[in-house]
Amino acid sequence: MTLSILAADPQGEAALSLLRLAALEARALYPELHAPDAPWPGNEPTPPRGIYLLAWLGDELVGMGAHRPLDAHSTELRRMFVRADGRRHGVARALLEALQAHARAEGFTRLCLETGFRQLPAMRLYESFGFQPIEPFGPYVGDPSSRCFEKQL
């Protein structure tokens, strides 16, 4: 099947459907952090210099990723998620490559990200892509479940 990665509206139906799947997975991984009746997450509009991508294997929506500027030189990778049935097909790597290329084209020199301490496959992927562990930044400072990484472009 052909893998396609396309810019998308983060508030569109496709993006929100994947976001809900990602939230379900996060709630299962970290039940102590999520109240059972917590509202479902939403997405803000894409900011200038940012992007929101959706990944399709054939006609199946399988993944998403975004980056949002932190400052003039740094941007944060966000919303990285690949459906379980879309994993092990290079989708996450393709999303990371596309996000990195877009960030470079927009003039960013640093990519940052946060993931949870139980997401070992994600951490291995980021490290294999050249990301290095860093101290928590921004809203993740003081969160014992957060693991933060950066990559210089």
Nearest to 95, CA basis, from 77, 74, 68: 77
Higher pLDDT, 40 or 152: 152
pLDDT (mean) for 67-81? 97
Beta strands in 22-141 (DSSP E): 51-57, 60-69, 74-82, 110-116, 132-134
Domain residues for 145? 3-152
Q: Is the pLDDT of residue 36 over 80?
A: no
pLDDT of residue 38: 84
Q: Is the pLDDT of residue 37 over 90?
A: no
Higher pLDDT, 8 or 40: 8
pLDDT of residue 82: 97
pLDDT of residue 17: 96
Domain count, the chain: 1
pLDDT-derived band at 134, boundaries 50, 70, 90: very high
Instruction: Show the tokens assigned to 53.
Output: 């991508």
Q: What is the distance in angstroms between the CA of the first residue and the CA of the last residue of the chain? A: 31
Q: Is the pLDDT of residue 34 over 90?
A: no
Which residues lie below 8 Å from residue 101, measured CB to CB, with a gap of 6+?
A: none
User: Which residue type does 136 have?
Assistant: P
Burial class (CB in 10 A: 0-12, 13-18, 19+), 121: exposed
Instruction: Show the tokens assigned to 72.
Output: 């003039």
Please tell me whether residue 152 adopts helix, strand or coil conformation. strand
pLDDT of residue 1: 79
pLDDT of residue 19: 96
Q: Is the pLDDT of residue 46 over 80?
A: yes
Instruction: Kindly report the CATH number assigned to the domain that includes residue 45.
Output: 3.40.630.30
48: number of CA atoms within 13 Å, CB side? 3
Provide the whole-model pTM. 0.94
